[in-house]
Structure 1
């Protein structure tokens, strides 16, 4: 079973303090670029939801309003299917239990201005969750319903199944799944076995696992971790702890992905950097060589790039590099490998293309660049490119790169703005 949310872009803020409301609204819009619709009473909120309720992905609610002093706005908003966090001046155990029982997504005590930082992070988390899949594996339908209900309140895409075999099938079909929550005590394949099977296919840096159980105490926790789980939670659990564990594990996967992306991307242009290109191109080279498929190694250089920097400044040069990188990504990024090799030099590994196809693609690129004017502020910049192309796998990828680089050198010294290709062997 699976659930997801439609596209919603706004935050509903209900807060009768003009100072606090303005500060929260401004921070969310400034830090996240997310629109905030702000009301100050239950009556205003009802009218706004009637008009725009379908646009809100979450709400931030003050539980003490002039026309709703006892938190009536919470029931009103939740009844419309809008996930909600509540603001309160103070919180007691009874109030906490009451609001968690309504399946709010969080509560925030307005005890310092620093709480706004937490609110901004919470909004960012809930917004991001709409693209993240979570698999719940438990042979108890009651337990599955409880966890899926909590996860849906946080807008995760939820998949729930009753056994390990079904979970493994889910993972192959739904790459959006970043977290698996699995019970221990299940027939045929228990939680430990499932965890070990998942770890054979998915490492901890791409998929998190939280083990859960109502039996076994600390020994179950240790066995889950040793089997490859990232975390463990005893049943029955408190909703607040469940959300904390889920968010922590999802954020760890995101952090690792961000680090990997920063390591693989060129900071200026956003396309792959030289190191990542070599990793990808080596794999592609080996496949093409083994299968005897045609390919091409391409080195491209922006002509007289130093003149652009000297005449217009490095900011304009950077804009030229970024524009050209995006052009390469748009034209070649889906089917081939593209990278910034360094400075004003770029590389492409063309997969499964003939000599004629490669030349046509690259000459069309050269012609497009030479005829195009790039808007930079109030001016229009124009430049040309030179291209060297080596065909068909040689002894090594390094050999192809060196040949392409030598051919680029020939293109530069024979007049620039041209494609020079490796000659066919006789």
Structure 2
């Protein structure tokens, strides 16, 4: 069973023992692209066309085996191939294998079943996309506040057998108001997107950053050592310094030279809290501790991080 989306092909199910089946998919799909209707081979009610003979020969070369019987069912939407079902039996010297012949009766049954399966897969994917959008920040594409609460709730679902160390970065941008006031909200939005990209670049995929609201961001890390936590914080500041307040990028968008005073360059203040999760740990414990440390960093002059455990 194959799903076709844009230029990608997903193998949903295969009973083949061929380890190279994925490598053969593009060639197989190119062979099937000319067929808009399903067919069964051999079909004793109609003669075999030269085109179909050629097609069967190419399939046999691809799988390195003679075909005993073959079914192909395309699923079309707006005359575009959305999914396809392939089923074949190989010829064998053993009589028992040659007794399995796919015929028109199989074709009718599989055609109905395949279309129902395709619709079911599409509904499941639609529900997954809807759920994903509920947990995604529309501007930056990273996790949103609701997604964060969901992830944190799962982590706080205490299990004594699990790893129980969680670290939260509470990040507030410094000088973001200057960018909005000086260059407009369109540039302000772009700055948020660029900062989210920095956070994505300094954290592993499974620790996706969160836009908590406005110009506040979070990182939720699990089982990080003190050295790893400090490395993440320093990498954020190093990246911001490298981009020098995104002045070059802003100049390109505005199509003019701009100058941002050093004291107004984009930076951030970060509060960090690491906790060992117990059955008594609450969501507010973690968030309030990190938030308090972040405000302490602001009070001490911004452009720095404070570890709440050390205050």
- TM-score, normalization: structure 2? 0.64
Query: 1:323 aligned to 2:206?
Result: no
1:300 maps to which of 164, 171, 185: 171
Give 3-state SS (helix, strand or coil) of 2:224's partner: coil
Deviations 1:277-332 (A, max 9, x none): 11212222444888684432111122222322333333333332223223323322
1:78, 1:405 → 2: CA distance? 66
Partner in structure 2 of residue 378 of structure 1: 252
Query: 1:60 aligned to 2:34?
Result: yes
Deviations 1:336-355 (A, max 9, x none): 35311112211112212244
Please say if residues 202 and 235 of structure 2, whose CA atoms lie closer than 8 Å, have aligned partners that are also in contact.
no
The structure-2 alpha-carbon separation of the partners of 1:357 and 1:143, relative to structure 1 and needing over 3 Å to count, comes to farther
2:273 maps to which of 383, 390, 406: 390
Please say if residues 285 and 393 of structure 1, whose CA atoms lie closer than 8 Å, have aligned partners that are also in contact.
no
1:391, 1:420 → 2: CA distance? 12
Give 3-state SS (helix, strand or coil) of 1:272's partner: coil
Partner in structure 2 of residue 406 of structure 1: 292
Partner in structure 2 of residue 118 of structure 1: 78
Q: Report the RMSD for the aligned CA atoms in angstroms.
A: 4.2
1:236, 1:305 → 2: CA distance? 63
2:173, 2:152 → 1: CA distance? 22
Q: CA deviation at 1:59?
A: 0.8
Query: 1:251 aligned to 2:122?
Result: yes
Give 3-state SS (helix, strand or coil) of 1:416's partner: coil
1:416 maps to which of 272, 283, 302: 302
Give 3-state SS (helix, strand or coil) of 1:256's partner: helix
Query: 1:279 aligned to 2:150?
Result: yes
Please say if residues 70 and 102 of structure 2, whose CA atoms lie closer than 8 Å, have aligned partners that are also in contact.
no
- TM-score, normalization: structure 1? 0.49
Partner in structure 1 of residue 22 of structure 2: 5
The structure-2 alpha-carbon separation of the partners of 1:141 and 1:81, relative to structure 1 and needing over 3 Å to count, comes to closer
Deviations 1:81-124 (A, max 9, x none): 49xxxxxxxxxxxxxxxxxx96343387xxxxxxxx6223x34x
Gaps of 5+ in 1: 10-52, 64-69, 83-100, 109-116, 131-139, 151-233
How many residues in Structure 1 have an aligned counterpart in Structure 2?
Answer: 252
Please say if residues 207 and 220 of structure 2, whose CA atoms lie closer than 8 Å, have aligned partners that are also in contact.
yes
